[in-house]
Every structure is written in C-alpha cells, then in structure tokens.
Amino acid sequence: MLQYLDTIIAFAVIMLGVSLLITTLNQMISALLGYRGTNLLWGIQTLLSTMKPGLKDKAKEMATDILKKPIISDSTFSKFAKDVPVLRWFTSRWKLASAITPEELVRSLSNVAQTMAAAKDGRPTADLINEVLTEVDPEANRKAKMVLETLKKLSPNTAIQMDKVVQELETKMRGSIGKLEVWFDTVMKRTSQRFTSQIRIWTIVFAVLFAFGAQIDTIKILNQLWTTPELRASLVSDKDAVLREASIVLSAQGSTARSSGPSIAPQILVDAMKKLIEEEKTATAGLAAVPRFNNLDDAVKWLRVGLKVEESRKEILVAAYEKLVLTELKGHAERIKQDLAKAGFQIRVVTSWEELKKLFEKNILGILITAGLLSLGAPFWFNILRSLSNLRPLLANASTKTATGSSQS
C-alpha cells in the first residue's frame, strides 16, 4: 500500500515542481505586460462609466491620467513625461499604478473636476464628476431610514429622545458613505477576477509548452516511478524541499479591494530588499527594519519614503531593487529545477522538429494528460502534496504494525 502512496507523492512532487516554474513565469509575464496596472485601469474606467454613462467617452482618459500620476503610481517610468519611443507600448503600461485606495481615487477625481472646471469647455464633465463624488449610496440611505423607523416604534418618549441622534447619524452617513466608495469594492473584485482569468490563460499556455517542450509524459512517468524504487524514494525524500520553495513562491497576499490582483510573494520582496540594503549600505543607511510587504508597490513606496538621497539616486536604487526581485524569482525557479534534478527527474527540452514529431506519433496522450494536470496550477498540487505528506507517516506506522503483528503470529 505504501508503494502506491509513494508513487503518487513522487508524481505530485514532479507536478508541483513544474507548476512552480510556470508560476514564476506567470509573475514575470504579469510584471512585463503590466497586467495589474492595466486591469486597475479597466476597473476604474468601468466604475466611472457605470456610475455616470455621460463620462463613458472620457472615463479611460481620466483613469489613465490618475493612475499615471507620480503621486499615485510608484513606477519609475511615471516620472517621465513621455514614453520611451522603442518600448512605447510597454512603458505606457508600466507607468500605471497597480493599487489605489478609495480615498486616493476620490481626491484624484476632485482634482480632475477642478481642472476641468477651469477649462473653457470642461464644465459639463466637471459637473458629472462632482455628481459621482457627492452621490449617496441608496442602500446606506435606506438602512439609516429603517433604523429611524424602528426606533420610532419603540415608544413615543424614546422616539423623541433618539430622533435628533438618529438624524445626526443619517447626516454623517450621507457625508461619509458615498456611492463611489461602495461601488469601489465591487468593481475591484471584478478587476481581480479579470486579472486571475488572464493569468489562468497564461498558466494553460505554459502548461502546454512545458508538457510538449520538456517531453513530460504522465503515463511514462507513472510507469517509471512504479518500476524504479530508487527514483521514487529520491523524489519522496525531496518533497519537503519542494514544499518549502512552494510555500515561498505561493505566499503572495493581496487586498482585492485595493489592488488589481495577486502580487509577488512577500518573502521574495523582503529577501530582495535585504539584498539591496546589503549591496548599498551607504545609500540605504537611513532605512528602518524591513517589514512584510503586501505587493511590489508597497515595497517600492517604503523604499522611496525611507531613502535619504537625491531623487536621481532614488530612481537608480528603485530600478536596482526591481531587478533584484526578478533575480529572486529566477533563483527560486532554478532551485526548483535543481531539486528535481537531484531527485533524478530531468527537464529535457525538445530541440528539433524531428523530436517533436516523434512525440506526436508516440506519446501524445500522456503529454496531453500532463498539460491538463499542469493547468490545474501550483496551489492545487501544493495542497495535494501537503495532504499526501501528512498521510504518509500514518500509513507507514500502520504498515509497520501490521508487519510486526504478522511476524509475531
């Protein structure tokens, strides 16, 4: 029985290892294509267009201007007035902020309204923006009225005493709970889902590329694991190392209400920051102890605020930090490959059309199965491997007791 479980565990180690490589590629693609920023742009554009259809034509332009402002965006490229000519498509995306709070959005829209009002033909747009900012959420207003009606039913004396208090409460709710703030969370959730869908597509693409490019045949691997005890045992013993790497790479936490999607793992961001501080001791001398960051924007903002150097030097250090983050991601990917290689599983890439042709002729079913399994994603295989790892000691103890009992009888 233990042989069956070890075979499944060894297979899960391979699937998790390859899935983690795909995850690191996804994070790099997300950073390269500026997915977090572009999805946040889509979210704010959708929010403005939905709340005020009259703003539909200008919603994208306003959202872009807000997210590219240096005070909102922590991107190094937001400091430049013009995009780099050769990389215009990329730099335009990189300028966008990837996180914004409701308060920052309200302040930015107020500034836009003031600018529009000062323009010759901008008054109609400014009026629409002000309507968005001052519009009360109907649901909050309804609940305030329900509270008042409930209190009135208690007793005449209570109603008289509480009427003034409730009216003050309702006035405060009108001033603090605007429709924009209420809708913000809903739109950010949709934005996060959109981001997840895009990353999901890349996961499937990379799963297919890895399955065919690295010749990963599920049927062949399972047969090899079953018939080769040494390989099976080596992969089982390597499960803790792979799980450790997975816990780091998959530890990204993000606030879906404030950002456009999952971010790079906090541990990677912290490790990269510590390396920067070690390499640039003089320039980073004034920095406090490195905290845990929710996303790359938080890390860059913390770095910019803490650095006590001239602005041009800050930009160089921020760029160096972002490069170190990518280096950390690549390092984790390389360690995962090395862990699998030590355990006896080599990822061999197809290098010729003839090899690829042979795969289609002989191993297409097993490779298609692999592509499907890899597309489930690293979190799936992480949970599977962790559960199986917890089960193994129990099964091993049960097997030992059974064998002991049999020998005594």
Nearest partner of 79 among 311, 337, 390, 326, judged by Cα? 311
Mark which of 113, 133, 153 sits at the end of a domain.
133
Whether 390 is in a domain gets the answer no
- Secondary structure of the chain as H, E, C letters: CHHHHHHHHHHHHHHHHHHHHHHHHHHHHHHHHCHHHHHHHHHHHHHHHHHCHHHHHHHHHHHHHHHHCCCCCCCHHHHCCCCCCCCHHHHHHHCCCCECCHHHHHHHHHHHHHHHHHCCCCHHHHHHHHHHHHCECHHHHHHHHHHHHHHHCCCHHHHHHHHHHHHHHHHHHHHHCEHHHHHHHHHHHHHHHHHHHHHHHHHHHHHHHHHHHCCCCHHHHHHHHHHCHHHHHHHHHCHHHHHHHHHHHCCCCCCCCCECCCCCCHHHHHHHHHHHHHHCCCCCCCCCCCCCCCCHHHHHHHHHHHCCCCHHHHHHHHHHHHHHHHHHHHHHHHHHHHHHHHCCCCCCCCCCHHHHHHHHHHCHHHHHHHHHHHCCCHHHHHHHHHHHHHHHHHHHHHHHHHHHHHHHC
Could you give the CA distance from residue 148 to residue 166 in angstroms, rounded to a whole number?
Answer: 6
Could you give the CA distance from residue 25 to residue 333 in angstroms, rounded to a whole number?
Answer: 9
Nearest partner of 66 among 34, 83, 43, 50, judged by Cα? 43
Instruction: Give yes or no: residues 43 and 20 share one domain.
Output: no
Could you give the CA distance from residue 334 to residue 344 in angstroms, rounded to a whole number?
Answer: 15
Instruction: Give yes or no: residues 218 and 353 share one domain.
Output: yes
Instruction: Give yes or no: residues 213 and 347 share one domain.
Output: yes
Instruction: Give yes or no: residues 345 and 303 share one domain.
Output: yes
Whether 262 is in a domain gets the answer yes
Mark which of 77, 106, 133 sits at the end of a domain.
133
Nearest partner of 94 among 116, 124, 110, 74, judged by Cα? 74
Instruction: Give yes or no: residues 147 and 90 share one domain.
Output: no
Could you give the CA distance from residue 24 to residue 274 in angstroms, rounded to a whole number?
Answer: 20
Tally of CA atoms within 13 A in the half-sphere of 309 that contains its CB: 18
Instruction: Give yes or no: residues 57 and 110 share one domain.
Output: yes
> In this predicted structure, what is the pLDDT of residue 369?
93
> In this predicted structure, what is the pLDDT of residue 255?
35
Whether 405 is in a domain gets the answer no
Integer Rg of the chain from CA: 28
**Contact 184/155 with Cβ under 8 angstroms?**
no
Instruction: Give yes or no: residues 40 and 69 share one domain.
Output: yes
How many other CB atoms are there within 10 angstroms of residue 16's CB atom? 28
Nearest partner of 132 among 112, 153, 160, judged by Cα? 112
Phi, psi for 80 (deg, rounded to 5):
-95, 135
Instruction: Give yes or no: residues 358 and 259 share one domain.
Output: yes
**Contact 290/256 with Cβ under 8 angstroms?**
no
**Contact 40/260 with Cβ under 8 angstroms?**
yes
Whether 400 is in a domain gets the answer no
Instruction: Give yes or no: residues 127 and 145 share one domain.
Output: no
Could you give the CA distance from residue 96 to residue 74 in angstroms, rounded to a whole number?
Answer: 8
> In this predicted structure, what is the pLDDT of residue 262?
41
Instruction: Give yes or no: residues 292 and 349 share one domain.
Output: yes
pTM over 0.85: no
Structural domain boundaries, residue 218: 2-32+199-379
CA distances to 44, 50, 106, 227, 228 from 188, rounded to whole Å, are 8, 14, 15, 50, 50
> In this predicted structure, what is the pLDDT of residue 345?
72
Q: Which two tokens stand for residue 247?
A: 């816990």
Whether 392 is in a domain gets the answer no
Instruction: Give yes or no: residues 27 and 43 share one domain.
Output: no
How many domains, the chain?
3
pLDDT tens, position by position, for the chain (409 residues)?
788 899 999 999 999 989 988 988 888 888 778 788 888 899 999 998 988 888 888 889 898 888 888 777 665 555 554 555 555 655 677 778 777 888 888 888 888 888 888 887 788 888 888 888 877 656 655 666 666 666 666 655 655 555 665 565 555 554 445 677 778 888 888 888 888 888 899 999 999 988 888 888 899 899 989 998 888 888 888 888 888 888 877 764 333 333 333 456 778 888 889 999 999 988 888 888 898 887 777 788 888 888 888 877 887 888 888 888 878 877 877 877 777 777 667 666 655 667 666 666 667 888 899 999 999 998 899 999 999 988 888 887 776 666 566 555 5
Whether 193 is in a domain gets the answer no
Whether 213 is in a domain gets the answer yes
Whether 192 is in a domain gets the answer no
Could you give the CA distance from residue 408 to residue 141 in angstroms, rounded to a whole number?
Answer: 77
Instruction: Give yes or no: residues 100 and 115 share one domain.
Output: yes
